Amino acid sequence: MVLNLEIGSVFSPASPMAEATLRLLYLLLVLGTGVLVVVAALVVISAIRFRDRGRELPEAGERRKAEVLWILGAAVLLLVVLVPTVQTMRIVDPPAGARAPDLLVIGHQFWWEVRYPASGIVAANEIHIPAGTALLVRVESADVIHNFWVPQLARKIDATPGRPVAMWLQANRPGVFLGACGEFCGVEHAWMRIRVIAHTAPQYAAWQGAQVRPPARPVASDAIAGERLYQQLACATCHASSVAVGPDLTHLASRETLAGGVIENTAANLTRWLANPDAVKPGSLMPNFHLAAREVGELVAYLETLK
Ligand code: CUA
């Protein structure tokens, strides 16, 4: 199966915020086209009318009238744009200091950390939300400037280190909505993908239930050996949720994708990744541990138990 990586379009909005933004975009396109047509027509008309150099220019009074009309016209146009823009901002952006965020999205080179403060759930790259509910999201960065953008659901917003910002995230219907980092942040910028997975209420409750439970202990011998290796290699030095240099792996096997949402989460891809991360995603911070094939197999067997 080939992983769908096609980012959603702003022209198929699936949230009140994205719908409002698209309405504003259409209004600006229509008004902008109108201005273009009028100005182009006037240029052509005056070029033809005043082609003859001997012809007198309009009187000063006439010209002043035209200037006043121009200024008034532009002012009215700006007002026509201002009102719906402010209305759209009120729909898209939460009021300052609204309430504690439901969700923290933190950009990293080159993946997204996702935290749910109320439940303590920590995820990566895949954001599970209940459909039909607006979540208040705080967007921040752990290193450089990233940009969180899921075109069908929400506005585009910079994730700037030290400057957290807030936005609404909502999906009108259950489904998967793809987005990406929208600000150049390093070699793997293009492969810093986002999947928002909107669930029905029971599906979302089931997902939450599974995430707050610790995964079942490994029983197969290779998985047990893999767990030992995971501890020996001190993988948690980077991958624990408290450190978050790399994604938290507590429920890795429950995710659809690996490596910043770029490859499907399968045993084969996990094997490729552990054998040589740089070959899968050059520039990733995941080091190559030069593991033997047997060790990779054991680690994969263990990681696959982390449902
Ligand atoms: Cu993160 Cu581009």
Model pLDDT for residues 235-271, shown as the tens digit of each residue: 877 887 777 778 888 777 788 788 777 778 888 888 8
Tell me what percent of the chain is helix, strand and coil, each rounded to the nearest 5. Answer: 40, 20, 40
| DSSP H helices in the chain | 16-49, 60-92, 201-212, 221-232, 236-239, 267-275, 277-280, 293-303
Residue 160 is given by DSSP the state B
1 band by pLDDT with thresholds 50, 70 and 90: low
Q: In 3D, which of 262, 250, 1 has the Cα closest to residue 111?
A: 262
Q: Which helix (H) or strand (E) holds 105?
A: strand 103-108
Please tell me if the CB atom of residue 189 comes closer than 6 angstroms to any atom of ligand 1. Answer: yes
| Cα 256 to ligand 1 centroid, rounded to whole Å | 20
CA atoms of 278 and 286, how far apart (whole Å): 8
State the chain's mean pLDDT as an integer: 87
Residue 153 is given by DSSP the state T
Whether the predicted pLDDT of 70 surpasses 90? no
pLDDT value at residue 2: 66
* Averaged pLDDT, 151-165: 93
pLDDT value at residue 279: 82
Between 54 and 1, the more confident residue is 54
**Residue 174 near residue 199 (C-beta atoms within 8 A):** yes
**Residue 137 near residue 102 (C-beta atoms within 8 A):** yes
Ligand 1 nearest atom to the CA of residue 107, by list position: 1
pLDDT value at residue 55: 67
pLDDT value at residue 283: 77
Please tell me if the CB atom of residue 139 comes closer than 6 angstroms to any atom of ligand 1. Answer: no
Please tell me if the CB atom of residue 101 comes closer than 6 angstroms to any atom of ligand 1. Answer: no
- Choose from 2-6, 82-86, 214-218, 301-305 the range with maximum mean pLDDT: 82-86
| Token pair belonging to 272 | 């490729």
Ligand 1 nearest atom to the CA of residue 189, by list position: 2
Please tell me if the CB atom of residue 107 comes closer than 6 angstroms to any atom of ligand 1. Answer: yes
Protein residue with least CA distance to atom 1, ligand 1 = 146
Please tell me if the CB atom of residue 13 comes closer than 6 angstroms to any atom of ligand 1. Answer: no
Please tell me if the CB atom of residue 146 comes closer than 6 angstroms to any atom of ligand 1. Answer: yes
State what percent of residues in the chain have pLDDT above 90.
Answer: 45
**Environment class of 232 (CB within 10 Å of its CB; exposed 0-12, middle 13-18, buried 19+):** exposed
Whether the predicted pLDDT of 75 surpasses 70? yes
* Averaged pLDDT, 88-116: 90
Whether the predicted pLDDT of 76 surpasses 80? yes
| Cα 146 to ligand 1 centroid, rounded to whole Å | 4
**Residue 183 near residue 109 (C-beta atoms within 8 A):** no
Whether the predicted pLDDT of 215 surpasses 90? no
